[in-house]
Amino acid sequence: MNSLLKASLICLALTLNACGGNEPAATDTPIKPTDKTTQRAEFAPKPPAADSYNAGDLLYPWVDQLNVRETPNTKAKRVGNAAKGQPVTLSGEKTEKKETIVLRGIAYDDYWLKVTTKEETEGWVFAGALKREGEFKGNEVVTDTRFKFQAFGDYDLSQWKETDRTDDSGGDAESTTVIYQKDDQVLKITRTDVGEYGYTNTFTLTDAGGNLLKARVFTFEVDPELLIRETVIDYLSMKEYVRSQPMSKHFMQLNERPQMVSGEWKVTEL
């Protein structure tokens, strides 16, 4: 197991143990799901058919005002844009290689496609920002204080009160923990950065009495391979949600840091 992920799971386990309440006591060993109970989550996105781009196909931007470029490059001249939900027509041309671009916290590995917009503008767009009619793809903007994570929930921290902020940095690791409270719920967020060796974001939701409700760990691992991993434990339904995604680039080579994994969940009854 990657050392960064192992450390984050141990820290999370210790945190959960300290919360007390009526939940089973946690140890420094992560819960091991049993294979026979593993299933796909009902809300898992359908993997895009990235290699089936044909001339004349209509695809739809899922981001606001998708840039149309003169050449297939994020730094190329912008020749127009396509509004969210406005169809673009594929010419049949695409780049030979895929590129990894992070959009709203999710890393998409896809081609650039030559398209014609509704206004008859021709140019190149990144296929990760397009979806087919009826396809489940895309999400809202993710920030440090506004996020919606599958299985974990939808949070607008402007509606929560910040009650504590601590800096736990040491050695090569930079770590900050912020605690928020709203009504009878407490959300603890710890973000740990170990430079080029990766980063981990941990979210713990409890009630006012310290009883654990949900926990989420997102990790970018670099050893032995580039991989992002997302784990959510729902202690009310006693289910664990896990998914991972191999990465073709180190996060320092990307336009921004991934915050979620793209793909299907495996769900385990705990």
Tell me the pLDDT band of 60, cut-offs 50, 70 and 90.
Answer: very high
Tell me the pLDDT band of 221, cut-offs 50, 70 and 90.
Answer: very high
Is residue 248 scored above 90 in pLDDT?
yes
Write the CA distances from 86 to 127, 131, 148, integer angstroms.
14, 11, 24
**pLDDT the model gives residue 136:** 82
Mean of the pLDDT values across residues 245-253?
A: 96
Is residue 256 scored above 90 in pLDDT?
yes
d(C-alpha 49, C-alpha 148), whole Å: 25
**pLDDT the model gives residue 203:** 98
Mean of the pLDDT values across residues 250-259?
A: 97
Tell me the pLDDT band of 49, cut-offs 50, 70 and 90.
Answer: low
- For residue 127, which amino acid is it? A
**pLDDT the model gives residue 135:** 83
> What's the predicted TM-score (pTM) here?
0.82
Is residue 205 scored above 60 in pLDDT?
yes
Tell me the pLDDT band of 137, cut-offs 50, 70 and 90.
Answer: confident
Closest-CA residue to 110 (of 46, 58, 52, 43): 52
**pLDDT the model gives residue 20:** 36
**pLDDT the model gives residue 241:** 96
**pLDDT the model gives residue 36:** 39
Is residue 51 scored above 80 in pLDDT?
no
Write the CA distances from 17 to 11, 47, 177, 230, integer angstroms.
10, 37, 17, 21
Max distance between CA atoms of the chain, in angstroms, equals 62
pLDDT tens readout for residues 187-201: 999 999 999 999 999
Tell me the pLDDT band of 42, cut-offs 50, 70 and 90.
Answer: low
DSSP the chain: --HHHHHHHHHHHHHHHHH-TTSPPP-SS-----GGG-EE-TTPPPPP-TT---TT-EEEE-SSSEEEESSSSTTSPEEEEE-TT--EEEEEEE-SS-EEEEETTEEEEE-EEEEE-TT--EEEEEGGGEE-TT---------SSEEEETTTEEEEGGGSEEEEEEE--BTTBEEEEEEEEETTEEEEEEEEE-GGGEEEEEEEEEETT--EEEEEEEEEE-SSS-EEEEEEEETTTTEEEEEEEE-SS-GGGSSS---B--S--EEEE-
Write the CA distances from 228 to 163, 219, 242, integer angstroms.
30, 6, 11
Mean of the pLDDT values across residues 148-177?
A: 95
Handedness of CA 136, 140, 143, 149 (dihedral sign): negative
Mean of the pLDDT values across residues 96-115?
A: 95
Handedness of CA 254, 41, 84, 86 (dihedral sign): positive
Tell me the pLDDT band of 134, cut-offs 50, 70 and 90.
Answer: confident
**pLDDT the model gives residue 40:** 53
Q: Residue 195's Cα: distance from chain center in Å?
A: 19
Is residue 119 scored above 90 in pLDDT?
yes
d(C-alpha 262, C-alpha 127), whole Å: 15
Handedness of CA 188, 253, 246, 43 (dihedral sign): positive
pLDDT tens readout for residues 12-26: 544 443 333 333 333
Query: What domains lie within the chain, and their CATH numbers?
Result: 3-44+139-269 (no CATH), 58-131 (2.30.30.40)
Is residue 46 scored above 90 in pLDDT?
no
**pLDDT the model gives residue 270:** 92
The share of the chain scoring above pLDDT 90, in percent, equals: 75
Write the CA distances from 216 to 16, 128, 245, 249, 264, integer angstroms.
12, 25, 16, 24, 16
